[in-house]
């Protein structure tokens, strides 16, 4: 049961993955409900389709570029997206180095499963949901804070168990967790999504978090359960200290939806595909030239 503040905005997100094996990047695009999406309806009409998908957009791109005014609107519209990329490769490099230094595995023939599992745990540990009760104890300075949930419920290992384990699920969870903490109130000087806990504006930021509904395309229901549990824990712990009062409701803050008929999800599909294409040939920092806001492994790039 979550504390619901009058909804300030809703975000909609879809995701894809770059080419490669288990270590490929997971790319999530997120649009706010107040984004200008007339270009989506125009594009759907031009492509004569009920539902936009990146593959169809990519195939039609050469002729779309010939319609200069429409193309400009498409580029500007796609640029409104926030991109959240989860790249396991730098994490894996650190894991391998640590394993070598600790001599836990032979120099040759590394235990790949152990490395990938440790990488998954590290990605989860880097999210603002991991160790939530401890993090809240640092943020809630305006009143006495008694943890209402056990730290054990939000350890990386426990979260990994709840979402089903494996690197793929860890990437999905990490992207969605960072997306939930992607807040308009986090200014450009913010370095990571975890900065909400140390920000002097934490009251305002938590109010925004709890007043923003998040919708993700259907992919991983287990991650939604953990994120809603986190929202419930935040609401219960700090509800009375928020600048805007709300009421408790059974309505979840985070949910999965079917993309058909939702312009924002279809826009996110296009944006995620475009971002994936950029990442397959360029460094992640180049995403900033195309998109309004970019996070990579929870670190703000733009």
Question: Among the residues of 20-53, which ranges form H helices?
Answer: 38-47
Average pLDDT over residues 192-198: 91
Q: What band does 160 get if pLDDT is binned at 50, 70 and 90?
A: very high
Q: Give Cα 213 to chain centroid, integer Å.
A: 13
How do residues 127-137 score in pLDDT, each as one tens digit?
999 999 888 88
pLDDT over 60 (residue 153): yes
Q: Give Cα 150 to chain centroid, integer Å.
A: 24
With H, G, I as helix, E, B as strand and everything else as coil, classify residue 17: strand
Specify whether the CB–CB gap between 196 and 183 falls below 8 A.
Answer: yes
* CA angle, 160 then 172 then 33, to 5°: 130
User: d(Cα 241, Cα 258) in Å, to the nearest integer?
Assistant: 35
CA nearest to 210, candidates 30, 31, 7: 7
Q: What band does 224 get if pLDDT is binned at 50, 70 and 90?
A: very high
pLDDT over 90 (residue 55): yes
Q: What band does 204 get if pLDDT is binned at 50, 70 and 90?
A: confident
CA nearest to 277, candidates 269, 266, 216, 174: 269
DSSP letter at 5 equals P
**What's the confidence (pLDDT) of residue 180?**
97
User: d(Cα 189, Cα 257) in Å, to the nearest integer?
Assistant: 33
Residue of 17 and 211 predicted with greater confidence: 17
pLDDT over 80 (residue 228): yes
DSSP letter at 193 equals G
pTM for this one? 0.91
pLDDT over 60 (residue 292): yes
Residues of 81-116 as b/e, b for ≥16 C-beta within 10 angstroms?
Answer: bbbbbbbbeebbeebeeebeeeeeeeeeeeeeeebb
DSSP letter at 72 equals H
User: d(Cα 148, Cα 133) in Å, to the nearest integer?
Assistant: 8
Q: What band does 249 get if pLDDT is binned at 50, 70 and 90?
A: low
Please provide the average confidence, as pLDDT, over all residues in the chain.
88
**C-alpha separations of 188 from 10, 28, 81, 203 in Å:** 21, 20, 16, 18
Specify whether the CB–CB gap between 25 and 277 falls below 8 A.
Answer: no
Specify whether the CB–CB gap between 11 and 31 falls below 8 A.
Answer: yes
pLDDT over 60 (residue 101): yes
Q: Which residues lie below 8 Å from residue 79, measured CB to CB, with a gap of 6+?
A: 290, 291, 292
DSSP letter at 28 equals E
Q: What band does 89 get if pLDDT is binned at 50, 70 and 90?
A: very high
**What's the confidence (pLDDT) of residue 79?**
97
- What is the pairing mode between strands 299-300 and 293-296? antiparallel
Rounded to 10°, the helix 132-139/221-238 angle is 30
**What's the confidence (pLDDT) of residue 237?**
77
Q: What band does 274 get if pLDDT is binned at 50, 70 and 90?
A: very high
């Amino acid at each position: 049961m979550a504390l619901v503040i009058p909804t300030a905005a809703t975000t909609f997100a879809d995701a894809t993955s770059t080419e490669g094996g288990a270590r490929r990047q997971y790319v999530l695009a997120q649009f706010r409900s107040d984004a200008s999406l007339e270009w989506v309806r125009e594009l759907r009409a031009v492509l004569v389709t009920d539902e936009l998908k990146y593959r169809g957009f990519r195939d039609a791109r050469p002729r779309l570029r010939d319609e200069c005014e429409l193309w400009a609107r498409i580029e500007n519209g796609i640029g409104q997206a926030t991109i959240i990329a989860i790249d396991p490769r730098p994490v894996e490099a650190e894991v391998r180095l640590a394993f070598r230094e600790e001599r836990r595995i032979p120099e040759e023939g590394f235990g790949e499963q152990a490395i990938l599992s440790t990488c998954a745990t590290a990605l989860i540990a880097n999210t603002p949901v991991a160790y939530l009760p401890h993090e809240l104890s640092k943020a809630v300075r305006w009143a006495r804070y008694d943890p209402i949930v056990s730290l054990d419920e939000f350890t990386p290992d426990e979260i990994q168990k709840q979402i089903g384990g494996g690197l793929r699920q860890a990437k999905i969870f990490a992207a969605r967790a960072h997306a939930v903490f992607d807040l308009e109130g986090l200014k450009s000087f913010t370095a990571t999504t975890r900065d909400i806990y140390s920000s002097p504006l934490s009251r305002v930021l938590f109010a925004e978090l709890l007043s923003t509904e998040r919708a993700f395309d259907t992919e991983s229901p287990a991650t939604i359960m953990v994120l809603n549990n986190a929202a419930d824990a935040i609401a219960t712990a700090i509800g009375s200290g928020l600048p805007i009062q709300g009421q408790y409701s059974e309505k979840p803050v985070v949910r999965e939806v079917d993309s058909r008929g939702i312009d924002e999800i279809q826009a996110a599909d296009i944006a995620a595909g475009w971002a994936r294409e950029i990442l397959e040939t360029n460094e992640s920092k180049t995403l900033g030239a195309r998109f309004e806001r970019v996070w990579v492994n929870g670190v703000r790039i733009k």
